[in-house]
A and B are shown apart, each in its own frame.
Chain A
Amino acid sequence: MAADETDEQLMRRFQRGEARAFETLMHRHRTPVYSFLLRLTGERTRAEDLAQETFLRLVKGAAGWEPRAAVRTWLFTIARNLAADAARRQVFRATESLDAPGPDGERPRAGEPAASGPAPDEAAEAGRLRLRLEAALAALPAEQREVFLLREHAGLSFGEIAEAVRVNENTAKSRMRYALLALRERLAADGIVAPAVPSGRGPP
Chain B
Amino acid sequence: MTDFEKIRGSIANRFGSSADIPKEIFSDEAVYQHELEQFFYGAYWHPLAHRAELAELGSFKTTWLAEVPILITRTKDDDIKAFVNSCSHRGALLEQRACGVAEEFECPYHRWLFDNKGSFCGAPGQREFRSDFKREDYGLASLRVAEHAGLIFVTRDPLAPTLKTFLGDAAPSLSDCMLDDGKLELIGYQKVIYQANWKAYIDNDPYHAPLLHTAFKLLDWQGSKGELINADPYGHMCINYQVKHYKDNGFLNDPSSVEFHGTDDRARVVALRPVTGITKHLDTINVRFARPLGVNQTEVHYTFFGHQSDTSEYREHRIRQSSNLLGPSGYISIEDAAIYNRVQATTRDGGLAHFVKGVGKPREEWTQNDEASNTVWWEHYRDVMGFSSLEGE
Q: Do A and B make up one complex?
A: no
Residues of B within 8 A of A (CB): none
Residues of A within 8 A of B (CB): none
